[in-house]
């Protein structure tokens, strides 16, 4: 665990809070944008001696301000290049995943919004030990900077970020929105809002609140079944917000933001992958400008309810996708990433809780350098 510090990490600061901190130190508040820009551009490892600020402030920033509030416990790298990071905060451990893009030079990052998860999706490892804590905006930014740093270490740029790691982002929305504000601010992360995706199992008030926040990020809806009985079995929150209600909320999101909505569908063998399921899903998509992402399940052993879900056969997968395409539904198949490194969400953290973590090497030295029980998908970048 990382010991709490009296002065917040720079991940925790907004422009206003850092300006106030500078005033408290008898330094010009006008340095705040410069300092945060240097912090984010260096992925959290600035060389303050190169900044045009007083020696006293350089020293203070180097000695009194913790660059990070997390400690990198392990980095696991899969044969496909996917890196899974296990980070320790003073409130618990989280997972973040870096996925090299198919195009050279870019990568996608998957970020957690909570420690553990209360949603109880039957196929998901993140929820096995329940909900532990919400992450702060600073802890979310901490993951973002770790991913940027690791992307840079392999010669890539973190081009997209998805909130598809541990947790339900809509249940920690103030922190998620604040983190998005920092990721997109020109003096901070400087990432386009369209390159950020927030995924939800369908918390309707959260979808409406995200639409109203003004950031116009992408929305991903973890649907996983086209009918209420099947979906309620997989995603218990469906008993609170049924399919008609969440599809209506997704359409409102699209009308308000102009963004395409991604429908995430984890394909489970002989559970939700029949031709009839495909036709029902196609009917739900009628008149809706959404993309359907099919994610073949990544087996994680017995589910919460004791079911051993399996990945569908290639024939069933192909048939399902073909039916959707025959109905003019824009459909992509996302292939699982990082199978060898427990990349289904929550697996690495769970392993670290139950057994000592074994990394593929020492964590990358920082100075150098929803899913979803469903498989961590291959995010286009």
Residues that bind ligand SF4 (CB under 6 A): 117, 119, 121, 124, 126-127, 166-168, 201, 345, 370-373
Smallest distance, Å, CB 194 to ligand SF4?
A: 23
Closer of 216 and 231 to ligand SF4 (Cβ) = 231
95 flagged as catalytic: yes
Phi, then psi, of 158 in degrees rounded to 5: -70, 105
Smallest distance, Å, CB 57 to ligand SF4?
A: 41
178 flagged as catalytic: no
Q: Distance between alpha carbon 363 and the CA centroid of its chain, in Å?
A: 21
Closer of 184 and 303 to ligand SF4 (Cβ) = 303
Smallest distance, Å, CB 227 to ligand SF4?
A: 18
Closer of 110 and 166 to ligand SF4 (Cβ) = 166
Question: Which residue in the list 110, 117, 121, 345 is annotated as catalytic?
Answer: 345
Closer of 62 and 353 to ligand SF4 (Cβ) = 353
Q: How far apart are CA 300 and CA 235, in angstroms?
A: 17
Question: Which residue in the list 95, 168, 264, 377 is annotated as catalytic?
Answer: 95
Contacts of 81 (CB under 8 A, 6+ apart): 99, 100, 154
Closer of 167 and 336 to ligand SF4 (Cβ) = 167
| Residues 183, 148 contacting (CB under 8 angstroms) | no
| Residues 57, 132 contacting (CB under 8 angstroms) | no
Q: How far apart are CA 374 and CA 192, in angstroms?
A: 27
Smallest distance, Å, CB 38 to ligand SF4?
A: 34
Closer of 354 and 368 to ligand SF4 (Cβ) = 354
Smallest distance, Å, CB 228 to ligand SF4?
A: 17
Strands in the chain per DSSP E: 71-77, 83-89, 92-100, 106-110, 114-116, 131-134, 157-163, 196-200, 218-222, 261-267, 290-296, 331-333
Element (H, E) at 58: helix 55-64
Nearest CA to 255 among 287, 294, 292? Answer: 287
List helix spans (H) across 237-312: 243-257, 275-284
Closer of 46 and 373 to ligand SF4 (Cβ) = 373
DSSP classification of residue 167: S
Smallest distance, Å, CB 22 to ligand SF4?
A: 38
The token pair at 49 is 């001696």
Nearest CA to 35 among 17, 14, 55, 51? Answer: 51
Smallest distance, Å, CB 127 to ligand SF4?
A: 4
Q: Would you call 5 helix, strand, or coil by DSSP?
A: coil
The token pair at 239 is 């008993």
Smallest distance, Å, CB 49 to ligand SF4?
A: 42
Neighbours of 168 (CB within 10 A): 27
Q: Number of H helices and number of E strands within the chain?
A: 11, 12
Phi, then psi, of 17 in degrees rounded to 5: -70, -35
Closer of 46 and 167 to ligand SF4 (Cβ) = 167
Q: How far apart are CA 217 and CA 223, in angstroms?
A: 19
Paired residues of 81 in beta bridges: none
Contacts of 330 (CB under 8 A, 6+ apart): 290, 291, 292
> Which amino acids are annotated catalytic?
95, 345
């Amino acid at each position: 665990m990382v010991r709490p510090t009296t002065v917040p990490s720079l991940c925790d600061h907004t422009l206003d809070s850092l300006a106030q901190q500078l005033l408290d130190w008898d330094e010009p508040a006008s340095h705040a944008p410069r300092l945060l820009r240097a912090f984010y551009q260096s992925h959290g490892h600035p060389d303050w001696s190169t900044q045009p600020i007083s020696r006293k402030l350089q020293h203070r920033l180097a000695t009194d301000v913790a660059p990070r509030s997390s400690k990198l416990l392990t980095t696991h790298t899969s044969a496909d290049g996917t890196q899974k990071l296990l980070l320790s905060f003073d409130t618990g451990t989280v997972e973040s995943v870096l996925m090299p893009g198919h195009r050279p030079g870019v990568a996608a990052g998957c970020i957690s919004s909570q420690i553990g998860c209360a949603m109880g999706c039957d196929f998901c490892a993140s929820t096995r030990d329940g909900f532990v804590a919400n992450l702060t905006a600073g802890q979310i930014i901490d993951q973002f900077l770790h991913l940027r740093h690791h992307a840079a270490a392999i010669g890539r740029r973190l081009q997209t970020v998805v909130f598809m790691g541990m947790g339900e982002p809509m249940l920690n929305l103030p922190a998620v929105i604040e983190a998005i504000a920092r990721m997109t601010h020109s003096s901070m992360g400087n990432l386009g809002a369209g390159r950020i995706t927030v995924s939800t199992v369908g918390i309707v008030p959260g979808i409406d609140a995200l639409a109203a926040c003004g950031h116009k990020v992408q929305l991903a809806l973890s649907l996983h079944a086209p009918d209420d009985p099947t979906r309620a079995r997989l995603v218990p929150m469906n008993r609170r917000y049924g399919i008609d209600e969440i599809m209506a909320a997704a359409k409102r999101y699209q009308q308000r933001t102009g963004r395409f909505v991604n429908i995430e569908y984890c394909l489970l063998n002989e559970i939700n992958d029949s031709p009839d399921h495909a036709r029902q899903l196609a009917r739900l998509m009628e008149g809706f400008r959404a993309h359907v992402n099919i994610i073949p399940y990544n087996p994680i052993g017995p589910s919460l309810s004791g079911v051993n879900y399996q990945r569908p056969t290639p024939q069933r997968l192909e048939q399902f996708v073909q039916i959707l395409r025959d109905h003019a539904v824009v459909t992509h198949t996302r292939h699982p990433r990082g199978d060898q490194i427990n990349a289904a969400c929550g697996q690495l953290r769970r392993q670290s809780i139950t057994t000592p973590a074994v990394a593929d090497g020492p964590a990358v030295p920082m100075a150098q350098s929803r899913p979803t029980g469903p498989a961590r998908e291959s995010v286009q970048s």
